[in-house]
Chain A
Amino acid sequence: MSDVTSTVKSKSIYPFVFLVLSFSAGLLLAYSRGPQTLPAEPPPTQPLVTEPLVTETRVNPDVGASESAIATPVGMDARAETDALDTRLSDAEAKIQHLERELVAVAEQQTAVALVVEAQQDRLAEMLADTDTGVAAASDSAAADAISSASPLQDDLVRLGARPTERGYLVTLTESELRFPVGGSALSSKRPESLGAIAEVLARHEQLSARVEGHTDRSGSAAKNLALSRERAQSVKDALAAMGIDAERIEIFGIGEAQPIDESGTAEARQRNRRVEVYLIEN
């Protein structure tokens, strides 16, 4: 009887050991890929400005030590404590980098708007000066021409949210905005409004040409991503052409995963990296 019981017991231990080993294999896999690579991002529901940035990022040895003493079991050695502090530090650094990138983007946008406003003010001042010096009668028609030929383009670009760069005015279209299916390049039958707005600007200003660049994130193989990015750029070109824009005015490029705008590796970062950039270039 006792033999039977022990056999049953020893038999029932095997599946248990097997399951424990299976679970441990996953822990080992996670450990072997190194410590956490994604920075601890604030949940998107919390606005970034409300983050207690200073307390999060400043590593005060006293505070850090007391916090980790609470958070970890008593008797944790100094090395583990240092590791914990290092992780906190790298988290905080990643967060700072993320915020800095956002700040730069906002600053660039502000500069762009300021530049356009400044240009328009200068133009207005010039025209007012012309009018004041008495050659008003003759130059009135010239000023009107200037307004109608130059200001509308800048107005349109501001309305479009285009950002001036060295390579032209940049409009960034996200994957979700273009409604691309995951891993696919076909635009849905409903054309995004932003694409229609770009087509309108191109139609109104014949002197503009467009450079369309497709970008992807780093999931999957680089070769597939390169092909996908080019196909998506081609889809955008086709859509613009279908809206009446001469295809010869549009150049396309597939960049693949080579130029990410956010390298933090989070799901949100990957989403930002999957995009199509349209540069409007004045010829």
Chain B
Amino acid sequence: METSTKTPGRLEHFPISFFAMVMGLSGLTIGWEKAQAVLALDLGITPWLIGVTSTLFIVLMLLYMAKLAMYRQAVIQELRHPVKLNFFPTISISLLLLSIAFLPVMSDVSRALWMAGTALHLVFTLYVVNVWIHHEHFQVHHMNPAWFIPAVGNVLVPVAGVPLGYQDISWFFFSTGMLFWLILMTIIFYRVLFHHPIEERLMPTLFILIAPPAVGFIAYSRLIGELDAFARVLYFIGLFLTLLLFTQANRFLKLGFFLSWWAYSFPLAAIGIASLLMFERTGQDIYRYLGLGLLTLLTGIVTLLLARTAIAVRRNGICVSGH
């Protein structure tokens, strides 16, 4: 897969959205770490999951760096693209997710990843919001749930930040994330209600709507250390959005494969982990069933996504112009 992608023409069109794969696989890793803790089981899969996710991140990073070195103009075009721009923070989010995955096994590595991810994410957030404010080319149909990606990253910071001892920095990023979540949620509903439907290949990004409340619940629980009213509100908003999207499963199943399908993975991991956390906090068995069900569903989906991505790469279906 990697060797074929390195051919000059394809490298030029190597999309930044590939990093959504790392988000999905990290979500799967963290989900199974949590599930094993809840079930008091050691399945021996954690090192494998962490290894595969880290390797994928390194390979994608190297490929994207090569693209930056050889086709700087192509990278700049992506940075100026109204939709693709929002996928750049998937790099810093991948770092933050890897730091969460490494937290129970190698805290030093986790700290280094967290620092790099947090700093980079601040840079990306500032850049993206600056572009939002000083743009000349955004139309309302450019608005899609991928715009949430920079916001989600901010909310992720406390998940590893609090156990690593960075309380105030975590609060800073959490607050920023919540601010943009509310703003973007309003705009996205306005766009969906009153303008053209979201184009087919970006439909799966609707799943990103689940991530801010679900991750927000996990992050807020770390910050506060207890299950208060706001924590419950966040969790149940996430659960409602999950149900809302599940009722549209038929529409999603009819879509053709695009790299954006990976958008299904991370938000599902987030709501699965949030459910397992709810079980830990309330002791109610329903959340354990829900969390594990969502986690195995995610495992099935990730397996499918890996297979479909491999097929698409083999058929030159991804690294092409316009993707």
- Chain A residues in the interface with B (C-beta under 8 A): 12, 15-16, 18-19, 21-27, 29-31, 33, 35-41, 43-45, 91, 179, 181-184, 188, 218-221, 265-267
List the A residue with the shortest CB-CB distance to B303: A22
Say yes or no: B280 contacts A26, CB within 8 Å.
Answer: no
- B40, B163, B281, B300: the one within 8 Å of A22 (CB): B300
Residues in A whose Cβ lies below 8 Å from that of B163: 181-182
Do A23 and B279 contact each other (CB < 8 Å), given the known contacts A18-B300, A30-B289, A182-B107?
no
The 8 A CB mask of B94-107 against A (1 = contact, 0 = none) is 00000000011111
CA distance A88 to B42 in the complex (A): 29
Query: Which of B227, B228, B285, B300 touches A21 (beta carbons < 8 Å)?
Result: B300
Q: For residue A265, which residue of chain B has the nearest CB?
A: B40
Which chain A residue has the least Cβ–Cβ distance from B41? A33
Alpha-carbon distance between A154 and B228 when the two chains are bound, in angstroms: 40
Q: Is B128 an interface residue (CB 8 A)?
A: no
Note all chain B residues with C-beta closer than 8 A to A26.
289, 291-297
> For the complex, what is the distance from the CA of A24 to the CA of B299, rounded to whole Å?
12
Is A23's CB under 8 angstroms from B283's CB? Answer: no
Also in contact, A22 and B288, with CB within 8 A (given A44-B226, A179-B165, A220-B104): no
Q: Is B282 an interface residue (CB 8 A)?
A: yes
Interface residues on B, range: 35 or more
The answer to whether A36 and B284 touch (CB under 8 A), given A15-B253, A19-B249, A44-B227, is: yes
Show 24 A/B contacts (Cβ-Cβ < 8 Å), sorted by A: A12-B253, A15-B253, A16-B253, A19-B249, A19-B301, A21-B300, A22-B300, A23-B294, A24-B293, A26-B289, A26-B294, A27-B289, A27-B293, A35-B285, A43-B226, A179-B165, A181-B163, A181-B164, A181-B165, A183-B104, A183-B106, A184-B107, A184-B108, A266-B283
Contacts of B228 in A (CB 8 A): 43, 45
CB distance from A225 to the nearest CB of B (A): 12
- The distance in angstroms between the C-alpha atoms of A266 and B227, with both chains bound, is 13
- Contact between chains at A38 and B280 (CB < 8 Å): yes
Instruction: Report the nearest B residue to A39, measured CB to CB.
Output: B283
State A267–B38 Cα separation when bound (angstroms). Answer: 9
The 6 nearest A-B residue pairs measured at CB: A22-B300, A26-B296, A36-B285, A26-B293, A26-B292, A40-B283
Q: Are B292 and A38 in contact (CB under 8 A)?
A: no
Within 8 A of A (CB), among B260-308: 279-285, 288-289, 291-297, 299-301, 304
Residue of B nearest to A32 (CB): B39
Contact at B103–A183, with CB atoms within 8 Å?
Answer: yes
Chain B residue with minimal CB distance to A12?
A: B253
A267 touches B280 (CB 8 A): yes
Nearest CB on A from B41, distance (A): 7
Q: Which residue of B lies closest to A40 (CB)?
A: B283
Selected from B41, B105, B304, the residue in CB contact (under 8 A) with A18 is B304
Nearest residue, chain B, Cβ from A267: B280
Residues 40-51 of chain B, each 1 if its beta carbon lies under 8 Å from chain A, else 0: 111000000000
B13 interface residue per 8 A CB criterion: no
6 more CB-based (< 8 A) A-B contacts, given A33-B39, A181-B111, A182-B163: A22-B299, A23-B300, A30-B292, A36-B284, A45-B228, A265-B40
